[in-house]
Chains A and B, each alone.
Chain A
Amino acid sequence: MIGSRREILTRKFLLWIALLLGACFAGLPVLWMVASSFKSNLEIFAYPPALIDHSFSFAAYEAVLSDPGQLRFFFNSYLVAIMVTICTVITSILAGYSLSRYDFPFKKALSLVIIGVQSVPPITLMIPYFGLIVWLRIYNTYTALVLTYMVFTLSYAIIMMTGYFNTLPRDLDEAVMIDGGGSFVTLWRILVPISLPGIVAVGVYTFMLAWNEFLFALTLTRTNDMRTVPIGIHLLMGQHSFEWNQMLALSVLGSLPVLILFLLFQRYFIAGMSAGSIKG
């Protein structure tokens, strides 16, 4: 790097300003959500507004955490989101490998189908899809939710994995092939390890979608023991009673584990990790 010390300092300064501006854009609305979840329902609508006021209390959190029904929603959300993530990641790695490394008849048509299935607005699909799930006898089960979310997430996951594999040079797997490794070996031993950033990105996306989906979670379940957090949030927004602070507390609580998960996985984004192995 050429550049004087002063130049680097100015750059660092500008970088920090940009970083902080970005953090305000992303974080301030969320900060307001967290602050509001500690307010009383009266003060949430108070004007002039205050970040923290005299009504500060943990009441909303206590109400949510002391309700076994709400905890069950959390459990269901985790179970479904984790299963969807695992299944989608594996399926999409296989499909992405096929689309990235092979040429075969109908390849383009199949790519079109994979994108095409999610071009129909989900709202219009709801009734016929619901009928299908009932016919398959998986109505009100985790299986229905997991399979449904896989249908939603697979398109992106496959496109993302294909795109990621496409950025990796072909000589890499060809070398393994020449050494006598089969295609499956090439995939798992070579491509998957250096594709971890892409795989984590797909996993994070899949998890978020499964965690946050509302419409199908509501339609495909009927009892509260199968329902997920977004439905719990809607149940707090009734015809005659609406508990803003509990709604916000529930979503803050719901987001915490997701953020922790993200913190754990983000080491895969650390620069240079995969770049080094590609060169090798």
Chain B
Amino acid sequence: MDSASQSQVADPTNIAWEQRKRRLLPYAYLSPTLILLAALTVVPIATVFLYSLVDNVIVNPNPPVFVGLENYEEVLTHRKFRGALSNTMYFSLVSVAAHFVIGLSFALLLNSRLLGANVKAVFRVIYILPWVFTASIIAILWRLLMNPHGVINFVLLELGLVEELQEFLSDRRLALNAVTFINIWSGYPFYLVSFLAGLQGIPDDLYEAGRVDGGNAWQLFLNITLPQLKPIIISLALLDFIWTIHQFTLIWMTTGGGPMRSTEVLSTYTYKAAFSSHEYSIASTIAMVILVMCTFVAVFYVRSQRMVDE
């Protein structure tokens, strides 16, 4: 709307055109995203949905048979599925909560006024270190560290914190917590970076006003920082929850779902169904169940977005 168009504002047909343009504008901004997603995800997701309704797909000499919701019944009533579901929930909820706490604490530390710029720069780099490695190498590294004859056991023994070697990844009492810990370690920098960015968006005058009202640091944090970060926190937690449910490489390469299924999560369970038992219909069905679960969380997110707007 440069000056030329402004001068024609009086023209009624032009106003109608301008109004239509205004209505279409948000779709125009969204179009690159929508075109890409439609082109690349609709067909594969529809295919997976279709697979979940039939039997004999991909690795099977017999023609596919439509079985309706039978696969869903089989999956949902299987005891291994329920075990995997509860492990997934534990793994995801603990990871998300810990990511949030660690990410925010580190972001606040790095945002402190008491530190010099160079100190902050160095620690920022140290703090995002876990993020720059691919999941397989993180799995390999932690297998080395957590090996019964690894450095963690050595340090714990030397300090007298444990009496004997701990089998972090092969003891069913420890394994789920061990893989959750690894996931926490590898995932928090994503929160850290997002919070560092979010903290910059909080106007200083809010804090000044808060101090004038006599708030201490804790009160400022509760009344200003947290509410201001709320949109980012909700987005992060939602996405992290979805990603953690999908976390595969890390668990697969450290424990493979063992020992004794103690770290079996939905993603490893799905992988085994697809590429070990070659039951693609079952794998697709589990995928659809995960999709429904995530959609519930996403609906919650979309609702919370409205509240932010208002």
**Are A and B in contact, CB atoms below 8 Å, in the complex?**
yes
* A residues neighboring B (CB under 8 Å): 8, 11-12, 15, 18-19, 22-23, 25-27, 29-30, 32-33, 36, 44-45, 47-49, 91-92, 94-95, 97-99, 101-102, 104, 107-108, 110-125, 127-129, 131-132, 147-148, 150-151, 154-156, 158-160, 162-164, 166-168, 180-183, 197-198, 200-201, 204-205, 208, 211-215, 229-230, 233-234, 237, 244, 247-248, 251, 254-255, 258-259, 262-263, 266, 268-276, 278-279
Complex Cα–Cα for A127 and B305 (A): 34
Contact residues on B (Cβ < 8 Å of other chain), bracket: 35 or more
Closest residue of chain A to B117 (Cβ to Cβ) is A270
| In-complex Cβ contact of A214 among B27, B185, B249 (8 A) | B249
The majority secondary structure among interface residues of chain B is helix
Chain B residues near A168 (CB-CB < 8 A): 201
Q: Decide if A197 touches B121 in the complex (CB within 8 Å).
A: no
Complex Cα–Cα for A262 and B190 (A): 13
Query: How distant is A103 from chain B, measured CB to nearest CB, in Å?
Result: 8
* B residues neighboring A (CB under 8 Å): 1-3, 6, 23, 25-27, 29-30, 32-34, 36-37, 40-41, 43-45, 47-48, 58, 105-106, 109, 111-115, 117, 121, 123-137, 140-142, 144-145, 147, 149-151, 154, 185, 189-190, 193-194, 196-205, 228, 231-232, 234-235, 238-239, 242, 245-246, 248-249, 266-267, 270-271, 274-275, 280, 283-284, 286-288, 290-291, 293-295, 298-299, 301-302, 305-306, 308-309
| In-complex Cβ contact of A36 among B32, B112, B144, B239 (8 A) | B144
Complex Cα–Cα for A49 and B242 (A): 38
Query: How distant is A218 from chain B, measured CB to nearest CB, in Å?
Result: 11
Chain B residues near A19 (CB-CB < 8 A): 109, 115, 123
Q: Decide if A128 touches B137 in the complex (CB within 8 Å).
A: no
| In-complex Cβ contact of A27 among B126, B135, B142, B284 (8 A) | B126
Complex Cα–Cα for A263 and B122 (A): 9
